[in-house]
Structure 1
Amino acid sequence: MNQIADRSGAVAIVGAGPAGLSVARMFRKYGVDYDQFERHSGVGGLWDIDNPGTPMYESAHFISSRDLSGFYDYPMPASFADYPTRRQILSYTRQFADDFGLFDAIRLGNGVTRVDADGDKWLVTTSDGTTARYHGVVCASGTNWHPRIPVHPGHFDGEIRHAVTYRSAREFDGKRVLVVGLGNSAADIGCDAAQSADAAFISTRRGYHVIPKHLFGVPVDQLDDGPVALPRWIERPLMTALLRLLVGDVTRWGLPKPDHKLFESHPLLNSQLLHHLQHGDITVKPEVERFDGTDVVFVDGSREQIDLVLYATGYEMRIPYVDDTLFEWNGDRPAQYLTAFNRRHRNLFTLGYIETNSSAYTLFDSVSNLIAQYLAAQDSDPALAARFDDLIAHDTPDLSGGLSLVRSDRHRGYIDSKTIRKTIDRVVSETGCRPLIPGFADSLRTRPATTAG
């Protein structure tokens, strides 16, 4: 057996995408010693389209808007688009790592292959064959790496792929394409097919509320989660009425009528899809029933000759380097306190394993702030750590915000952004942790307070 290196005073961070970089900055802020492991050759996670296994595609943009989507106290440049491109997000993420001096602790090209409990410590084995003992582990390796692929009966003569393999609209040239699914990525890819394929179809099991990316010239998420945001009980009926007025009846263009109220499922933010439906560039089909040679047969009895079926049916939130029994699970989502703290195994954290209705980056920072202070307090302030331990063991907040969500794999453990922020504020108050305030990380900067883009 290889010799085990002693890093028992440090924490291992798995992944150097946005979540991993968020917690690394907080560790530097609060003096938590750490090593960070990234299996790819650069930081940025899935936003680097050249990373093997990434689900990124050329036409991808951020689903939340620029001014609400950045790391805390590190805004995206004003030169970025309202909904930044994948290249802009990657540039911003890498500049963040550079500006805060995070590269020095990142071991690129060296992923974590195994994490094992070792008493009250953790053994971390990496792809270079070394094993080290750590005080804790933060699993921040991302959620969109393990595709969920449905199985339909019958034999299909054409090509079947998952969207994780998709990169460019050029792949659709000369083909009759069926995109299965109607999440935001599926809608993006459907728009690519509408412009490039010989014929384009999109299959969905249910209807969704379609929200334009801009209302009254303002990115729509700023009306939900910005300075002028309204309480949900006022916002939902008001927004429902606005959509009826501004968007109209989407069933006119073949989309099913939603079987749920607004905000009870992740809405579809894609005005471009409506454009292509309105102009006949893409056709909506119901759920797939079976394959029949060159045809796809749908549950309404209709059929279409198809060359390529592309499943845009989501991803499983796996943590493949940790034994599943070390986590509690809600479907395929790790069921952690505040999405991060393991209730049964101290200092085994997750960051980024969420489905939420707002920008994730600032939420990462809010949770990272708690993780870092909790770890630091285990040495410097045992009373604070004990208060936190009590909350981890006994506090069971409803983070859905009281929304009656659609029953689906995607919505298991769904997080309402307004609710988790209020809950984090309460936890900060009850434990005595320091809240995030503007300028909290100025001393960590290795560059002036500007970002490239």
Structure 2
Amino acid sequence: MSDNNNTFHDCGDSVCIIGAGPGGLCMARALKRQGLSYEQFERHSDVGGVWDLDNPGTPMYESAHFISSRDLSGFLDFPMPKHFPDYPSNRQILEYVRAFAQAFDLYGPIRFNTGVEQVFKREDGRWLVTLAGGEQRCYRAVVCATGCNWDPNMPAIEGQFTGEIRHSVTFRKADEFKGKRVMIVGAGNSGADIACDAATHADKAFISLRRGYHFIPKHLFGLPADEVSEKGPQLPIWLVRPLFSLILRVLNGDVTRFGLPKPDHKLFESHPLMNTQLLHYLQHGDIQARPDVSHYDGNEVIFKDGRRETLDLVIYATGYKWSCKYAADYFEWKGGRPQLYLSIFSRQHHNLFGIGYLETNSSAYKLFDNEAHAIACYLRDQLQNPQRARDFEHLIAHDDPDLTGGINFIKSQRHEVYLEVHALKEQLRKLRQRFAWGDLDDGYYTALRQPSATPVAQPA
């Protein structure tokens, strides 16, 4: 059957997964565990998503490392190998993700070098997916797992700059800064990383910050900081915040001494910077902090405090628009962020899901496992226990749980979907118990693992 010379396929009860990065692979494994059929599409030539430096448009750069630690960051039933460092490099993460796909035999259903052009909801509620090249395939559900870091956010700054302006998505290696006077605009974790590369390679380096941040060392008491937080007693935020604030004052002192603005929020009300290496370079003068940019004038930047600097290159580390171009019309957007139940389930459109459309204070991969498990159990119930599925659909439409964990997050675009990880995990745990979805305990996926799977290689 064809339509306008484009091949059409009705895929019955199969689920469409768009993207084969870590989130898409978690989704594939969860569906496989429930015995549900699916097809998966990846526009690149291999799995890995943003972690593959050869993936066109990736924001990855050579010096990037995980900001969550090895032992807390692995997929369920597939821990990161002990020979990895506490904070693995991007190359190690890519190797690990591909080993995960091999270990659970996830490569087979993936169609590589196949982008998705459009997702369309038909009148019967099924989803028509148009692939690059025109082929159309119809599914009962679509999972968007293409991530949030592909569409650069470029701020509008007055004036004309005669040097070079780029977004950090174009940055790959520190050598690009040699012989140049460089400014990094923005101080998220990527911006801080890139600023450190500028500090060691540029002739002169600056970082422009709109607001101040709290700096958390990657290690506390010799352990990764997230291990200290996760494995210690789970204390209420009113007790955790002053305790951690005291530790940071002892370790870092007053960071405004280095020209950094004072944070305008309490600890944990915005994502902290896991980068005391930047403090090291500020302490030694290898990079200098500056306030927000006012405007450009030729080869000079003028800051809001009136200071001026002559520059060759400006890198905007100003984040990404959370566009999902192939299905944008089916998401409700607020402040540039999709509004989803538990950051997973569309409230308006049946069987449209997102994996990874959230900001939180935790490692991502185990969260992806939690998200994927909930989607897969709900999709299974639609076929095997329709009443239970309808009960859950009532929650999707009406439930509005508090996922802040008692934290008053700052009001910004980035924080429109920010949530506290323990609050989300607890909510998902309650749902698993309420709907008899089973626990996500160690061993849940063991039976799917291929006995001949090649482990992540030891370093030579």
TM-score by length of 1: 0.98
Secondary structure at 1:193 match in 2: helix
For the pair 1:102 / 2:106, whether they are aligned, the reply is: yes
What is the one-letter code of the residue matched to 2:298?
A: G
CA–CA separation in structure 2 for the residues paired with 1:357 and 1:52: 28
Paired residues of 1:8 and 1:121 also in contact (CA < 8 A): no
CA–CA separation in structure 1 for the residues paired with 2:236 and 2:93: 30
Note the C-alpha offset of 1:449.
Answer: 7.8
Paired residues of 1:100 and 1:447 also in contact (CA < 8 A): no
Corresponding residue for 1:37? 41
For the pair 1:287 / 2:292, whether they are aligned, the reply is: yes
Paired residues of 2:31 and 2:376 also in contact (CA < 8 A): yes
Instruction: Mark the runs of 5 or more structure 2 residues left unpaired by the alignment.
Output: none
Secondary structure at 1:344 match in 2: coil
Paired residues of 2:158 and 2:294 also in contact (CA < 8 A): yes
Matches within 5 A, 1:9-20: 9-20=13-24
For the pair 1:359 / 2:381, whether they are aligned, the reply is: no
Secondary structure at 1:89 match in 2: helix
1:175-202 residue CA offsets vs partner (Å, 9 max, x unmatched) = 0000000111000000000000000000
Secondary structure at 1:8 match in 2: coil
Matches within 5 A, 1:132-147: 132-147=137-152
Note the C-alpha offset of 1:225.
Answer: 2.3
Paired residues of 2:7 and 2:134 also in contact (CA < 8 A): no
One of 293, 304, 317 as aligned partner of 1:299: 304
Secondary structure at 1:19 match in 2: helix
Matches within 5 A, 1:245-256: 245-256=250-261
CA–CA separation in structure 2 for the residues paired with 1:225 and 1:157: 48
Matches within 5 A, 1:121-160: 121-160=126-165
One of 340, 351, 354 as aligned partner of 1:350: 354
Corresponding residue for 1:276? 281
Paired residues of 1:76 and 1:451 also in contact (CA < 8 A): no
1:355-377 residue CA offsets vs partner (Å, 9 max, x unmatched) = 11100100010111010010011
Note the C-alpha offset of 1:323.
Answer: 3.8
Instruction: Mark the runs of 5 or more structure 1 residues left unpaired by the alignment.
Output: none
CA–CA separation in structure 1 for the residues paired with 2:366 and 2:318: 26
CA–CA separation in structure 2 for the residues paired with 1:416 and 1:367: 15
Comparing 159-168 with 217-226, which one deviates more in the overlay? 217-226
Paired residues of 2:212 and 2:262 also in contact (CA < 8 A): yes
Paired residues of 2:102 and 2:453 also in contact (CA < 8 A): no
Change over 3 Å in CA distance of 1:221–1:450 after alignment to 2: farther
Change over 3 Å in CA distance of 1:79–1:229 after alignment to 2: farther
CA–CA separation in structure 1 for the residues paired with 2:328 and 2:235: 42
One of 390, 408, 413 as aligned partner of 1:409: 413
Corresponding residue for 1:69? 73
CA–CA separation in structure 2 for the residues paired with 1:236 and 1:222: 16
Change over 3 Å in CA distance of 1:318–1:136 after alignment to 2: same
Q: CA RMSD in A?
A: 1.2
Corresponding residue for 1:317? 322
One of 381, 386, 389 as aligned partner of 2:390: 386
Note the C-alpha offset of 1:317.
Answer: 0.9
Paired residues of 1:225 and 1:358 also in contact (CA < 8 A): no
TM-score by length of 2: 0.96
Matches within 5 A, 1:323-338: 323-324=328-329, 326-338=330-342
Query: Aligned pairs, how many?
Result: 452
Secondary structure at 2:130 match in 1: strand
One of 231, 236, 244 as aligned partner of 1:239: 244
Note the C-alpha offset of 1:293.
Answer: 0.2
One of 159, 162, 166 as aligned partner of 2:167: 162
One of 175, 195, 215 as aligned partner of 1:190: 195
Paired residues of 1:209 and 1:262 also in contact (CA < 8 A): yes
